[in-house]
């Protein structure tokens, strides 16, 4: 991501694992991602991030919507 900190709420890919996550926060050289459908955040070094492609972001948003629709 050109070592730029992505904005909170955007989606990015951890290139070490190819997993899409929602940007929650940043601390030092790390960005915290959270699975789109919820779950535990994980730290990703800036150099291991790339912006999610449109298809990846849409898929992540659908996962989140599906999860939210099943909540009471």
Flag whether 3 is in a domain: no
21 token code pair: 């996550």
Q: Which domain holds residue 62?
A: 11-69
Q: Which residue reads 């070490």 in tokens?
A: 16
- What's the pTM value of the predicted model, to 2 decimals? 0.82
Contact 20, 57 (CB under 8 A): yes
Flag whether 58 is in a domain: yes
22 token code pair: 């929602």
Flag whether 2 is in a domain: no
Flag whether 45 is in a domain: yes
Contact 15, 49 (CB under 8 A): yes
CA–CA distance, 25 with 43 (Å, rounded to integer): 9
Local confidence pLDDT in tens for the 72 residues of the chain: 456 889 999 999 999 999 999 999 999 999 999 998 888 999 999 999 999 999 999 988 888 788 778 777
How many domains does the structure of the chain reveal?
Answer: 1
């Amino acid at each position: 991501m050109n070592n730029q900190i992505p904005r909170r709420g955007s989606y990015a890919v951890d290139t070490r694992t190819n997993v899409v996550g929602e940007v929650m926060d940043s601390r030092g050289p790390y960005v915290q991602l959270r699975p789109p459908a919820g779950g535990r955040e994980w730290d990703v070094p800036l150099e291991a991030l790339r912006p999610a492609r449109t298809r990846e972001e849409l898929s992540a948003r659908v996962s989140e919507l599906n999860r939210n629709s099943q909540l009471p």
